[in-house]
Structure 1
Amino acid sequence: MPAARPAHFVAACLTLALTSAWAQTSSLPITADQRRVAEQVASAGVPLSELAPNAPDSHTVKAGDTLWDISGLFLKSPWRWPELWGMNRDQIRNPHLIYPGQVLVLVKSDGRARLQFGQRVGGGPGDTVKLSPQMRISALDGNPIPTIPLHLIQPFLTDAVVFDTNVLATAPRIVAAQEGHVLMGRGDLAYARGDFAGATDFRIFRNARELRDPATKEILGYEAPYVGTADLIRAGEDRKSADGKTTEIVPATLQIKLARQEVGVGDRLAPAPQRNLDRYVPHAPDRAMAGQVVSIYGEALNAGQNQIVALNRGKRDGVERGHVFALWRDGERVTDKTGNRPEAIKLPDERHGVLFVFEVYERVSYALIISVKEPVKPGDRFTQP
């Protein structure tokens, strides 16, 4: 029988196996330095003090689970899962590779904890189930579980859009509808003018509104209400008349593919971007960071759990997709009447929620409210968790 391997060796091997599996599916090379970082993280784990009070010894992944949910079972701070799992978030873009039916085992040693894959040993329904760590990873039926519930943010990957400058002011515009219609829906034809720059797949927007920093009043970007999508099916042209004396303008023809709202004359067009859902990996910023909520997406004055807010920090400030922030509620200003004379005091600020950044622009970003105790409003403060 071979000698037993220490837990950190098993965790490191697990990490390398996952890294290799990812490399095979992504065609991107794994460098020696990336392997070193993965091994280093895998051998560290998290302090036992970071475990949730009722962290289970094991968990069987089920349909509907997310990486955030599972990490929340084991950790006080779910965004610290890369340390628990021994994963390198920068290089493993789909790091979980976890499927319904797989068993996760919590291993504790030397004052730290790590999470490993396990397997069921014997046991039918109602029988005792034993768990043993294993390093072999086999593909299971179904899709790997997502990091967070993607259905909460997927619509906003198209709907919530911020432009660094007011480019929509000069973007192609819808100038007419078919047969004199004023409003258009899915399947209708629309006619537009402007520079399409070779694109054929477009998003449709209403006029953009300014997003201003709550403190400095600087314009951070321009948020454009999303209307729908359209395909360019025929380019426009300028035709010369038969006698060559006049020019007839013929606009481009588009077909409305999706209409979240009714499309109207004057709406603007912007090329549809590519989206990558594999990079939404929760993690805390590497340095101190703070800012404020700029606005609530939509028409609401306050926001609650699973709603979207715009933040006054973006790429230039070091914000990344997947960053997790803590929400803070301003302490009330009250009067202390217990002394010799009344005095105005301010109660301490209280942390009351968690934000998850899923889209980042140059000076602003969008975040999902993962949890919150009090309604969130523009001007509310956030910091690193």
Structure 2
Amino acid sequence: MLLLVYYAYCHCSVQTAMKHLLSIFALFLITSRVYAQPFVFDAHTPLVPDAPTQYVVQEAEQWSDILSKIVLDPEPWLQRWQGRLPKLGAGDVILLEKQGNLVSLTIRQGRTVKLQPRVRVVEGETVRSAPILPVEAIQQFLNRPSLLTEQERETAGYVIANSSKSLMSSLHDRIFVRNLSYLNEEQFIVVRPGQRFASMDGEVVYAYEAIYLGDAEWIEDAEDGVSTLRLTHVVREVLKGDLVIPVGTREFRENFELVAAPEDLVGENAYIVAVVDGVSQIGQYNVVVVNLGENDGLVVGHLLNVKQRGGSIVDDLTDTPEMVRLPDQQAGTLLIFRVFDTISYALVIKAILPINLFDPVTAP
């Protein structure tokens, strides 16, 4: 984490940043501040009158205490963000920002930690270090998929009915699922396909949004191709046609190689194809999806540059005015933390200009 913070502001190479840190720190106590990605409330969410724009967390306070100071009905938000909200500690600062009808909540964490760097610099700009990633910013993407590939969408189990024979299924209901081929799995999640994420011309579909509905557990073996599951947690009603996929085990190593992606790996048509959590402006510690994956040679730990696309203007200072395209500008740095066949999740670890959907990514 320290490496990311230092690298984000030093305007130097990863290797240089690492050398600077090694020359300054060995075993010191420092205060680490992590700015997690914002949690955005729905438009027109009723707020508590005179809700604070900044609040310092007190000893033993929980998220239920915090949200009750901000919104009139905190329970739906506790359920929606379950598993994503970071653990609170005394001294953390909750920031409330308003933009139009939208209100976002950001957590600034101030913790005293002991640095014990397990760091070495090797050839090829490769660095291995103590935990370098704010895991709380990406935890939800390790435990629950926010995207479905075309193959996952086609091969997933799907809900055909429930035991009560009602239109909607809710907590503790038994649901009947077809096409559930994961015979060794017992824990599942239920999702609903949302918007599709495609190439700029719309011809290539990379993935679909996976709207999380709840968790389910296996109850009985499939009979005539129909499996029985019980809903153990729900955030929305489950309907006929919703998809069921296994939770699985997604191993994640906090220690991994941090290395610039090779130039021959990133082609001219590499760009951001999706912005996770529906934020309108992409900034530091937001999660994006790029149209590069394992098939392209991308691995966890690869660093990519992201550029802001240059616009076009009319040069009217010449005898014959003509349209001129402005050059792309360096906008930030991405860290790949989860890789699929054709797409990957990336964390924005550095943002010096606003980043937008379809902005190109390049090798550093």
- TM-score class, shorter-chain normalisation, is 0.5 to 0.7
Aligned counterpart, 2:259: 283
2:228 maps to which of 244, 253, 262: 253
- Tell me the secondary structure at the aligned position of residue 295 of structure 2: helix
Question: How many angstroms apart in 1 are the aligned matches of 2:13 and 2:208?
Answer: 44
* Structure number with higher relative contact order (C-alpha < 8 Å, ≥ 6 residues apart): 2
Aligned counterpart, 1:58: 25
- 1:367 maps onto 2:346 in alignment: yes
Alpha-carbon spacing, 1:190–1:101, altered in 2? closer, same or farther (3 Å): same
Q: CA deviation at 1:332?
A: 2.7
Deviates most, 270-279 or 293-302 = 293-302
Alpha-carbon spacing, 1:371–1:206, altered in 2? closer, same or farther (3 Å): same
Alpha-carbon spacing, 1:170–1:375, altered in 2? closer, same or farther (3 Å): same
TM-score scaled by structure 1? 0.57
Contact 1:292/1:311, CA 8 A, preserved across alignment: yes
Contact 1:227/1:260, CA 8 A, preserved across alignment: yes
Alpha-carbon spacing, 1:323–1:220, altered in 2? closer, same or farther (3 Å): same
Question: How many angstroms apart in 2 are the aligned matches of 1:301 and 1:202?
Answer: 31
- Tell me the secondary structure at the aligned position of residue 316 of structure 1: helix
Alpha-carbon spacing, 1:280–1:319, altered in 2? closer, same or farther (3 Å): farther
Deviates most, 218-227 or 290-299 = 218-227
Question: How many angstroms apart in 2 are the aligned matches of 1:272 and 1:333?
Answer: 46
- Equivalent positions of 1:1-385 (< 5 A) are 50-51=16-17, 57-58=24-25, 60-62=28-30, 64=32, 100-102=113-115, 146-198=131-183, 199-207=185-193, 210-214=196-200, 217-238=203-224, 251-278=226-253, 281=256, 282-288=258-264, 289-290=266-267, 291-385=270-364
Q: CA deviation at 1:371?
A: 2.8
Q: CA deviation at 1:151?
A: 0.7
Question: How many angstroms apart in 2 are the aligned matches of 1:65 and 1:231?
Answer: 38
Contact 1:284/1:323, CA 8 A, preserved across alignment: yes
Alpha-carbon spacing, 1:51–1:62, altered in 2? closer, same or farther (3 Å): closer
| Two-structure CA RMSD over aligned residues (Å) | 3.9
Alpha-carbon spacing, 1:262–1:194, altered in 2? closer, same or farther (3 Å): same
Alignment gaps of 5+ in structure 1: 1-45, 67-98, 108-114, 116-143, 239-248
- Tell me the secondary structure at the aligned position of residue 157 of structure 1: helix
- Tell me the secondary structure at the aligned position of residue 229 of structure 1: strand
Question: How many angstroms apart in 2 are the aligned matches of 1:253 and 1:373?
Answer: 51
Question: How many angstroms apart in 2 are the aligned matches of 1:237 and 1:57?
Answer: 64
How many matched pairs?
Answer: 263
Question: How many angstroms apart in 1 are the aligned matches of 2:13 and 2:340?
Answer: 35
Q: Per residue, is there more strand in 1 or in 2?
A: 2
Q: Map Cα deviations across residues 239-259 of structure 1 (whole Å, 9 max, x no partner).
A: xxxxxxxxxx9x532122333
Q: CA deviation at 1:356?
A: 1.6
Deviates most, 320-329 or 296-305 = 296-305
Q: Map Cα deviations across residues 211-238 of structure 1 (whole Å, 9 max, x no partner).
A: 3222583233444333232110122435
The aligned amino acid for 1:379 is F
- Tell me the secondary structure at the aligned position of residue 196 of structure 1: coil
The aligned amino acid for 2:210 is A
Q: Per residue, is there more helix in 1 or in 2?
A: 1
Question: How many angstroms apart in 2 are the aligned matches of 1:253 and 1:106?
Answer: 49
- Tell me the secondary structure at the aligned position of residue 277 of structure 1: coil
Q: CA deviation at 1:369?
A: 1.9
Question: How many angstroms apart in 2 are the aligned matches of 1:237 and 1:167?
Answer: 23
Alignment gaps of 5+ in structure 2: 1-11, 35-111, 121-126
Question: How many angstroms apart in 2 are the aligned matches of 1:270 and 1:63?
Answer: 40
Alpha-carbon spacing, 1:214–1:280, altered in 2? closer, same or farther (3 Å): farther
The aligned amino acid for 1:57 is I
Alpha-carbon spacing, 1:145–1:230, altered in 2? closer, same or farther (3 Å): farther
Question: How many angstroms apart in 2 are the aligned matches of 1:210 and 1:331?
Answer: 26
Q: Map Cα deviations across residues 162-218 of structure 1 (whole Å, 9 max, x no partner).
A: 444344345322222343444344443323233434132222121365432225832
TM-score scaled by structure 2? 0.60
